[in-house]
Amino acid sequence: MLNNILEYQKKDAQLVAIEKEIADSPAKKVVNQMVEYVKTAQQKLVAIEKNASSLIVEFEELKNQFNNSIKTVDDLTKQKLEILKDDELKENVNLVTQENARILNIEKNISTLSAKINTTLIEFEKTKEQGKLAKKKYEQGMQAYNEFVQSKQNLIHKLKRELAELEKNVDGKLLAKYKELRSDKKFPIFVPLMGHSCGGCSMELPIAKFDKLKTTGILECENCHRIIYLKDDEK
């Protein structure tokens, strides 16, 4: 009974090796890197757009302030100065001076803001181009990855057919446990006792568990949940 599941695992190890080869292939790594790069670029674009929107709102506010100050100066300079009293004339000049100073400050702020907007637009276009390049590399990587996977399909199908044939001679409960742990990406599932420790995670078995293993021949590890078995020379 145990020999059958160990033979099954031995054959399955070939399939696991191929799966690992596919997962660790250079093309797969390129695909994963480009996925992350595109995701980061998209997040950056959203942040840039949000920043650009804030800058545009700020620009519109400054433009309104500038127009209001220009209108104020225009209205003040259109007054008939000859009919103004001295204190009114003085006040008029002070107001014009203040508004002119405000206009100069607004112009300075607009110039600074325009530079920020221009930098933001350049950054946006640069990030967008980087995203396009990453997407192109992703597509190339996916093509290479799919071709690599396809090159392994005949061997994968062959191994799966052989495994299906071996399953007929494997105990149903052991096979169910095997597939459960296999789906959790644990391999190997059945491991030999190494001294007094699990051959999978190296945790030492308590005396009671060790004695039980001697009696039953197999035992589930409390730590990694692999199935520990006794080699023929230890039974």
Judgement on whether residues 119 and 196 belong to the same structural domain of the protein: no
Task: State how far the Cα of 226 lies from the Cα of 189, in Å rounded to an integer.
Answer: 5
Domain assignment of residue 176, yes or no: no
Judgement on whether residues 212 and 100 belong to the same structural domain of the protein: no
Q: Is the pLDDT of residue 233 over 70?
A: no
Judgement on whether residues 133 and 216 belong to the same structural domain of the protein: no
Quote the DSSP letter at residue 189: S
Span 103-133, pLDDT tens digits:
999 999 999 999 999 999 999 999 999 999 9
φ, ψ of residue 131 to 5 degrees: the values are -65, -40
φ, ψ of residue 90 to 5 degrees: the values are -60, -40
Mean of pLDDT values over 179-183:
93
Number of domains in the chain: 2
Cα-Cα-Cα-Cα dihedral sign, residues 198, 201, 204, 208: negative
Per-residue pLDDT, 103:
92
Per-residue pLDDT, 50:
92
Residue 216, domain extent: 189-234
Judgement on whether residues 16 and 91 belong to the same structural domain of the protein: yes
Judgement on whether residues 118 and 216 belong to the same structural domain of the protein: no
Judgement on whether residues 91 and 198 belong to the same structural domain of the protein: no
- How many C-beta atoms surround the C-beta of residue 153 within 10 A? 10
Give ∠ CA 175-180-181 in degrees, rounded to 5: 100
Span 66-94, pLDDT tens digits:
999 999 888 888 776 667 677 877 887 88
Judgement on whether residues 134 and 193 belong to the same structural domain of the protein: no
Cα-Cα-Cα-Cα dihedral sign, residues 196, 198, 201, 206: negative
Judgement on whether residues 135 and 213 belong to the same structural domain of the protein: no
How high is the mean pLDDT of the chain?
A: 91
